[in-house]
Amino acid sequence: MTVRIKRIFIVLFAIGLMASIPKPGTAQSAAEIIERMDEVMRGESQYAEMTMKIVRPRYEREVSMRSWLLGRDHSLILITAPARDEGTAFLMRDNDIWNYDPRIDRTTRLPSSMMAQSWMGSDFTNDDLVRDSDLIEDFEHELLRTEEYNGYESYVIEMIPKPDTPIVWGKVKMWIAKDDYIQLRIENYDQRDRLVNTMELDQIEEVGNRKVPKRITVIPADKDNERTILTYQQIEFGIDIDEGFFSRANMQRLR
């Protein structure tokens, strides 16, 4: 996505406030459903450990990482394996995105034009992992229908980027579970209404007092036998962390 830059992985607060979430059947707008989903998947603060497997016809490659998240404006991803990429870090703080390469001991600010590019050679984009697009403010939303998807009664919502927002997609479709507001599937379309890729979120498990998907699979529409699979080994919500953690100096010394 040629997009601004906020949100990774991910790939993921409100479940602890379930009493405040409208019960199934209560009339909600599409935007309200998206907002509830974002709260459930993201949390106010979060720590995660994950492995990303990149599958290609002639090879497979794995990247391991740790990530920290605070609200919508602060995130940090640290690569822990393979050895040649260990120590590489990505920092999002407010409207700035930084990349640290330990091999040359250099920190670089990433421009918005790089947000649509592949992240670490995977089918995720830079924006997927360190996201700036605002799911509420940057899109018009329409509830298309409800249907069963992978055993969950789900909302199907279409999102169209607003004019002048730096988003490359022509439209985005999301499947969101009605009961728990879990994100289950995303389809990204280009400006000509052609499917570009699909994200499938599954292996739903309870983490603390909420349910979250532990696996995200990105499947390109036009490339056979290619995909990227992001699997969470550990997720913690409500961690004790402040804005001072998300600094360029800390990005360089984390290991």
pLDDT tens digits, the chain, 255 residues: what are they? 433 333 433 333 222 223 233 444 445 899 999 999 988 887 789 999 999 999 999 999 999 999 999 987 899 999 999 999 999 999 988 878 899 999 999 999 987 667 777 888 899 887 776 665 678 888 999 999 999 999 999 999 999 999 888 787 899 999 999 999 999 999 999 999 999 999 999 999 998 788 899 999 999 998 889 999 999 999 999 999 999 999 999 998 887
Supply the range of the domain harboring residue 31.
14-253
How many separate domains does the chain show?
Answer: 1
Amino acid symbol at 250: N
Nearest to 13 by CA among 47, 37, 49: 37
- Whether 3 is in a domain gets the answer no
- Whether 64 is in a domain gets the answer yes
**Residue 56: CATH number of its domain:** 2.50.20.10
As a whole number of angstroms, the distance between CA 252 and CA 254 comes to 6
Backbone angles phi, psi at 183, to 5 degrees: -75, 130
Listed in sequence order, the residues at least 6 apart from 111 whose beta carbon sits closer than 8 Å to its beta carbon are none
As a whole number of angstroms, the distance between CA 253 and CA 86 comes to 12
CB-based burial, 68-79: b 16+ in 10 Å, e otherwise = bbbebebbbbbb
Classified as helix, coil or strand, 172 is strand
Contact (CB, 8 A) for 16 and 211: no
- Whether 2 is in a domain gets the answer no
Residues paired with residue 48 on neighbouring β-strands, in sequence order = 67, 235
